[in-house]
Structure 1
């Protein structure tokens, strides 16, 4: 992994610059899974709190903008990092296979950067939606590097017939990916998928209402119209990034875990969360929101997260 480079301007793409999704310093570094981009910020006067890593969700227009409220809040009190996963934001969007392993390795590469900055201090990490699965895998691989894990609207807890935590592999559908990625219509279909009406439609489904974040909608449109924007999302919608055995990794977590989710929209089936409810290291909070409670109910979300962090042993 090459040394991190800080204070760069985000790369010029398309007809102009993809705006920074959050404040602070822009960084990029080269890893075995490609060039990764992230933002960081430190509070004035420093902080004795461990670093906080924030990881956006996976969708057709994902970016660090999805964790902006948390980043901007916590940068006042502690060092924060917002990683952009492979295929999204300012990170490498090249045409290749996007897999669970690539996403997990990106988090581990980001962890090593944080350790270069702060030593071996265990960090707090928060991931949204499907990225919760990648974070859980990363934690099980290097458990001593993490102090706590926060899973916001995590996937993998949906009630499914014949579901087994012991099944290996992913839910990949190669035939579906082949259809999406067929050269004659690959880019054209993605432009339709990432049009402003489509983005508004999917955000309404995510929020469960028309009260979605307008700034996020605008940023989603811009980031999804950069070169190569379709590559990672096509692997996402074709099931390559969903693990069949993710419950096994959730169950293996021994550090303090905070799970939170909403009750509106398309993402409300958490029937399998009963398998972790009652565990001493798990806390679950429910918000009267859609799948982005940290954006829709920012103050309440931060208050609950702070309560959880206050219980985490140093």
Structure 2
């Protein structure tokens, strides 16, 4: 039997439950006397959690209300065997904004969650702005076909194959290896240790299998999502070993509400490796009207 997962960091923890999204655990700090709410969304991989957003949470807590949920299937949130999909995650973000935060918020999303946040922004009036850190969906390479994705999912879901594969991906040396890919130097020990602990929670494999089978990505994300966003958008990026940004200029050139800042040298997690550059870029974005 797995041990209970401790909190990712020292903050108030609460649960929000909806019929469609299940139980979502989240961290919050609402001690700031004023300020626009900030919603922080971790990435999707084999072992993510709100811990990935800790530097941003710690920097902005006390300055403005800050919220960092564990998305469905990860961290301390519900991890049942269900259909994890882009629609599920977008509905989670939209519902959380409406029912927990209750007013327009600035949203910061990491990697794949950028696509979910963009999808939520198209269906919600509670997204004041989007800051996308190393967002997916801007690569030139097309996704595998639906048939291929379904075949991969069935393969990963086979009990013997899936169990062995997940164990191989989430032993501590493997977790450290994959996190190493996102850092110019060594990843922080607390990030490695917590990521490894999250993989030992019952049901931890279900959501990652949907990710590994490519079912959580959107076909033609620029055309389907990014070109359609009306809110101000900031992209923070540099080099990333897992994703590319060939189509980013296409969106930047066509929309005045989009801007980008390269945070260098980083490999996908600039808020960990170059926190001051990241904070400065975010603050300037939030304090400058779109189009200026």
Report TM bin, short chain: over 0.9
Match of residue 223 from structure 1: 198
User: How far apart, CA to CA, are the structure 2 residues paired with 1:245 and 1:156?
Assistant: 7
Q: Confirm or deny that 1:292 pairs with 2:279.
A: no
Question: What RMSD over aligned residues (CA atoms) do the two structures have, in Å?
Answer: 1.8
Query: Of residues 17, 28, 32 in structure 2, which corresponds to 1:30?
Result: 17
Q: Greater CA deviation, 15-24 or 76-85?
A: 15-24
* 1:101-140 equivalent positions in 2, closer than 5 A: 101-116=87-102, 121-140=103-122
CA 1:306/1:37 → structure 2, altered by over 3 Å: closer, same or farther?
Answer: same
* Alpha-carbon distance in 2 for matches of 1:171, 1:307: 44
Q: Distance in 1 between matches of 2:42 and 2:289?
A: 23
Q: CA deviation at 1:172?
A: 6.4
Aligned residue in 1 for 2:58: 72
CA contact (8 A) 2:29 2:65 kept: yes
Matched residues in 1 for 2:122 and 2:238: separation?
26
Unaligned 5+ runs, structure 2 = none
Query: Of 240, 250, 262, which residue of structure 1 is paired with 2:238?
Result: 262
User: How many angstroms does 1:23 deviate by?
Assistant: 2.5
- 1:170 Cα offset (Å): 6.4
The number of aligned residues is 285
Q: Helix, strand or coil: the match of 1:307?
A: helix
Distance between the aligned counterparts of 2:282 and 2:147, measured in 1? 31
Aligned-partner Cα distance in 1 for 2:112–2:194: 20
What is the SS of the residue equivalent to 1:30? strand
Q: Using the alignment, how far apart are the partners of 1:311 and 1:170 within structure 2?
A: 41
Hey, what's the Cα distance between the residues in 2 that align with 1:113 and 1:145?
A: 10
TM-score normalised over the length of structure 2? 0.92
CA 1:115–1:218 in 2, change beyond 3 Å: closer, same or farther?
closer
| Secondary structure, aligned partner of 2:259 | strand
Does residue 179 of the first structure (1) align with residue 155 of the second (2)? yes
Aligned equivalents of 1:179, 1:104: Cα separation in 2 = 26
Q: In structure 1, what is the Cα distance between the partners aligned to 2:9 and 2:163?
A: 28
Among 201, 207, 216, the alignment partner of 1:232 is: 207
**What do the CA deviations read for 1:100-127 (whole angstroms, capped 9, x no partner)?**
11111111121122344xxxx3211110
Please state whether the residue corresponding to 2:135 is helix, strand or coil.
coil
For residues 222-254 of structure 1, give each alpha carbon's deviation from its aligned partner in whole angstroms, at most 9, with x where no partner exists.
001111000000010001101103212101111
User: What is the rounded CA distance, in whole Å, between the counterparts of 1:192 and 1:281 in structure 2?
Assistant: 43
Taking the aligned partners of 1:192 and 1:125, their CA distance within structure 2 comes to: 34
Q: Give the superposition deviation at 1:214.
A: 1.9
Q: Does 1:39 align with 2:27?
A: yes
Normalised TM-score (structure 1):
0.86
Rounded to whole Å, the distance in 1 between the matches of 2:28 and 2:75 is 15
Cα distance in 1 for partners of 2:54, 2:284 equals 20
Q: Does residue 20 of structure 1 match 2:7?
A: yes
Paired position in structure 2 for 1:166: none
Instruction: Look up the SS of the partner of 1:127 in the other structure.
Output: strand
Q: Which runs of 5+ in 1 are unaligned?
A: 1-13, 164-168
Shift of 1:171: 8.5
SS of equivalent to 2:165: helix
Is 1:157–1:273's contact at 8 Å kept on the other side of the alignment?
yes
Matched, 1:151 2:132: yes
Q: Deviations over 1:122-174 (max 9, x none)?
A: 211110000000000000111x312111000000001226x8xxxxx969611
